[in-house]
Structure 1
Amino acid sequence: MTVETVRIDRIRPADSPRLDGEDPDHIRLLAESDATLPPILVHRGSMRVIDGMHRLRVAQSRGDTEVAVEFFDGTELEAFIRAVQLNVTHGLPLSLADRESAAARILESGESWSDRAIARMTGLSAPTVARIRARSLADGHADAQSRLGRDGRVRPLNTTAGRLRAGELIDSEPNLSLREIARRAGISVGTARDVRKRLSRGEDPIPARFLPGPHPATHPAAGPLDPSGPPTADPGPDPMDGSYVSDLNSLQKDPSLRLTGSGRFLLRWLSFHAISQENRASLIRSLPAHNKARIAYMAKCCSRWWAEFANDLEQPQELRDIPKTG
């Protein structure tokens, strides 16, 4: 960077990651030193100090009217991140509270950096950033649906929809290459390979950690419904009731279901509903308030669809074969 001489009265104080501001003792030590202080780093767009507030205070205390400056070009968020990075690696180090506060601010910016990427910016561990993220979400801040990693690659947080699509492709076009499946489903080749292996073992293509549910776009079409009305059948036991789980395990071992595309489709949907009360409550707490009414509506649609599906199953075959009119 080119060093320029700038009048001190043009420079604005830092948008500092330091919660307690400058340290008077550190300013005094710098003022007493005979060493030539390096230029300060300033954000060109706002003229705020990024790195060097202590050096600026020393210059002011000496009565200087100008100071050596290097300019940084970027957004204000990028300038703040640069300030954090520089104060983590040299000079008067940021305290743990300073770094955790900086991580929270970066998370609240809405950018999609991963926990590891933010940890690297702030000098924290990835688990610490994950805890800060959880607190931020609990306070109502939205989270991105994908994360930007340290390697610059964007990765989705949940590949449920892509895994479902991959499973459909494998069922309908078993000779497709993994690369083509990955391209069509919007997932990595490694994820496509995992889906194929899981299906070959008769398992669900979606690991348990991705439950409780698929992407909304994967809901089966239910036809015209009146979701405000009560279900037409008893919804049955709680999904985590022992008999439900036992029956589900038995069905998953049945070759007539797990070795057919329609059977695996049904098993996936039955698995999605095996959610404990605790996990359901946690899921509800994590949902954005502005979408809860819409999600409730969709849940009622699904409930009505399942009730009608159950009624159809309970009817004798000869009645199910009669075309519906009306």
Structure 2
Amino acid sequence: MDPTGVDIVALPVVEIELSRLSSVYSPRTSGEDPEHVETLLSAQGELPPILVHRPTMRVIDGLHRLKVARVRGETKIAVRLIDGTESDAFVLAVEANVRHGLPLSLADRKRAAVRIIGTHPQWSDRRVASATGISASTVADLRKRRGQDGDEARIGRDGRIRPVDSSEGRRLAAELIRSHPDLSLRQVAKQVGISPETVRDVRGRLEQGESPIPDGSRRLRTKPESLRRPEQDFGHAGGRDRQAVLERLKADPALRLTETGRILLRMLSLHSIDGQEWERILRGVPPHWDAVVARCARDHAQIWAAFADRLEGRATDLAAG
């Protein structure tokens, strides 16, 4: 499911004449990449269907596949047709080119974000960031440059409308976290009316001794005792505690003897390597892939965060029941 609410995979596949298609929607300003075209030409089997905006017949996703079809002398190509507005179609084009295939350049992603800010001004920074593959702070900066940071409320990734100025919600969340440190992110978010991700940021700031409101200047004099913990870098992230918990989980037959349980244990083990190994992996990432790997890591971090929120919510529901 994409940010505009369209289940692309569920759309039927049809064949369309190449002569009817246009590639005007592509957010890739440099056009086709010859090396990527050559890679697709040598690929075995059929290529996936391209995505086309039905009202205009413009290609949303599949610029290189369209080029391959033309090079091969084909007259038709497999297509999934999307309805809706041109602005929503452009969002789909950007998201498709960010999440698979040949990644968009950072410059193209920023240009796309500027365009989406203009066509979807009520979208939150996080929602625009999710569609374009850049950080929410970068989106906020681009929005300020366009003079569009004065909106009172915006629509988040979950479709809910929230006020842009969350200072009061952050302050209330901080008070609740201090007085009830065992509450889950969802519980705090529900009580103060902000998103779980904002609560996560507030908690992180408190743990680092910072102000819950990101004004860039204020810092707390001391960390609350209940929130102090070792410095969270690769070498000091509670590794011993995690290993002890992991060993307990491995000993539980409910996990060790079931397929899903073994998958979970392998995932947890993979992320339980020590700080030196993390540093070695970090140094081994080629510089030209830094931005792409960083984006993938952040995407995976968001998935784990959502997974944790669901578990915490389920535990709360069981306790309440």
TM-score, structure 1 as length reference: 0.47
Q: TM-score, normalised by structure 2?
A: 0.47
